Amino acid sequence: MCYPCPSNSRSLDYNQIVNQTTCLCDYGYYAIPYNDPILLEWMDPEQYALWYYDRHNSNPSHDANADLDFFCVSCPIGADCIRMGTTIQNVTPAEGYFMGFDRTGQFFYPCLNNDACLGGFCADGYTGSACTECTDGLTQVDFACVQYVLNP
């Protein structure tokens, strides 16, 4: 039986894959698990309301979403969803941002030094989850890691 892809997603082109039952979230969206309606309610209240209504007011055997395993929701600000098929499990921060310390893929924050955060990794000389620590031999001055030399 064929089901439509979830909102904000599309089926792959036949030339890309023979099995046309695969759906991927569009650019600017990422997949969250269908079995996590609490996360859906928090991230996309409007889509949650539609899902809740359909789930509780229609025959479950005719629920078009019954066999789908994900929803597509807008990527949070600071997340990199420029690839089709991004999921909450593989999303990375956009340049100038870092992923929240809980590492869930739900929260992204601006870096204190935008030059240090390069979209999932740190620039040379920087380290740490928010790229705020300096590597060996460098000293932090106003959130920048610099070679500090004492004048003799």
Threshold 0.85, pTM exceeds? no
| pLDDT tens for each residue of the chain, 152 residues long | 666 777 888 887 655 544 456 788 999 999 888 777 778 777 777 777 776 666 666 544 444 444 567 888 899 999 999 988 899 989 999 999 999 877 788 899 999 887 899 988 999 999 988 888 888 888 888 778 888 766 65
Report d(CA 17, CA 97) in Å as an integer. Answer: 34
- Identify each DSSP E strand in 2-131 by its residue range: 9-11, 23-25, 29-33, 70-74, 79-80, 92-93, 97-99, 108-110, 126-127
